[in-house]
Structure 1
Amino acid sequence: MKSYQVKSLMVPLSEYATVSETASLIEAVQVLKKAQMAFGQSRYKHRAILVFDGNDCLVGKLSQNDVIEALEPQYKDMKSPVNHGSVHRLGFSDDFVKSTMEQYHLWDKALENLCGKAANLKVKTIMYAPGKGEFVNESTTMDEAIHRLIIGRHHSLLVTADNDAGKIVGVLRLADVFEFISDAMHECVPA
């Protein structure tokens, strides 16, 4: 894969869902839906939204998980570096997971007034700022990009321009890398 570069597999920024950091959650979801409908039917749909500030600089990402989590404000009380991620991976049982849901009264009223909540939540308050390891240059080899995806456990990497490391030109998605690899493996099977 050393002969393949990130730019050959990335989704160009022009085809990706993007919003301003001042957009509401409902506006962001509408932009994502529009981008999904416009995206080729033969490819995986987008699962994230890129967030830009007033100077057109990338300031964050908003995942499907972030959108759903934002609808239940009690999750903020539960967040800590220790329990971020899947509680099952940390060895917690189904009974424990259910008890935390009951203890914190999660989802008791989260879907009530869904439209009002989504209209009042601003993207800036629920997005996350990508870390240094989530950026890759467009001429980086696929070998290195795949390594970054796996080691960082990322669903995507933000692709920067060769001539301007601060300019985002696309997104390299794990789903597209998997499809590329699985297609290559399919060619290994004798007909």
Structure 2
Amino acid sequence: MKNILVKELMVPISEYATVEIGTPLIDAIRALEQAQEKFTDSRYQHRAVLVLDKCGNVVGKISQLRALEAIEPEFNFLTNIKELQKFNFSEDYIVELRETYRAREQVINKDWLRVAGNKKVEEFMQAHSAGEYVSEDSDLDTAIHKLVSGRHLSLLVSNNNQITGILRVADVFTAVFNQL
């Protein structure tokens, strides 16, 4: 895989869904839908929206899972439940906590969706870690190592400290297993 470069498989950032900090969730979802409609080079649809600062630099990402978490009532409480998992509480106990919590909270309805749709993307976006970047000129072996060791679904691709694209695990998987 050393003869395949990251830039050969990446999706250029110009073809990816992006929004600026301060954008409401509903507009980020619309941007994702528009990017999915335009992007036909692959059978895999985009599954995230990149969040940009006012200068156009990528500062975070909203995956489909993050968007769903944003509509969950009291998202912070659910995050705290995730933190409890570090202390090796049984999965049954964690499930019971969630069920107890959900029984006391409002069920997701149109009013709640309206509120969630107006949340700003920076409230729930995932900031990128240092291990989520790969150079355009890196070979596929390097990218695979980063994807697997970091358990990432995508990597930000850079050229001279500028983000130029996204390398998605689905595209890497297809390239590797087509070689088989």
Taking structure 1 as the reference length, the TM-score comes to 0.84
Q: Which residue pairs with 1:151 in the alignment?
A: 149
Q: Which residue pairs with 2:18 in the alignment?
A: 18
Q: Which residue pairs with 1:188 in the alignment?
A: none
1:17-61 CA-partner distances (Å, limit 9, x unpaired)? 101111100000000011111111642000011000111111110
Q: Which residue pairs with 1:102 in the alignment?
A: 99
Cα separation, 2, equivalents of 1:138 and 1:111: 44
Q: Which residue pairs with 1:54 in the alignment?
A: 54
1:71-126 CA-partner distances (Å, limit 9, x unpaired)? 1132311324x836xx7xx7844x44542232111774223425412332000111
Structure 2 residues not aligned, in runs of 5+: none
Matched, 1:168 2:160: no
Structure 1 vs Structure 2: percent identity of aligned residues? 41
Q: Which residue pairs with 1:189 in the alignment?
A: none
SS of the residue corresponding to residue 150 of structure 1 reads: helix
User: When you count helix as a share of all residues, which structure comes out higher?
Assistant: 2
Cα separation, 2, equivalents of 1:170 and 1:145: 13
Distance 1:160 1:40, change over 3 A: same
Q: Which residue pairs with 1:126 in the alignment?
A: 124
How far apart are 1:182 and its partner, in Å?
A: 1.9
Instruction: Number of aligned residue pairs: give it.
Output: 177
Spell out structure 1 runs of 4+ moving beyond 6 A: none
Q: Which residue pairs with 1:183 in the alignment?
A: 178
SS of the residue corresponding to residue 113 of structure 1 reads: helix
How far apart are 1:147 and its partner, in Å?
A: 0.3
Contact 2:19 2:49 in 1 (8 A): yes
Distance 1:42 1:159, change over 3 A: closer
Distance 1:92 1:177, change over 3 A: farther
Letter in 2 for 1:30: R
Cα separation, 1, equivalents of 2:174 and 2:147: 14
Contact 1:39 1:45 in 2 (8 A): yes
Over the aligned positions, Cα root-mean-square deviation in angstroms equals 2.2
Structure 1 residues not aligned, in runs of 5+: 186-191
Cα separation, 2, equivalents of 1:64 and 1:168: 21
Contact 2:71 2:113 in 1 (8 A): no
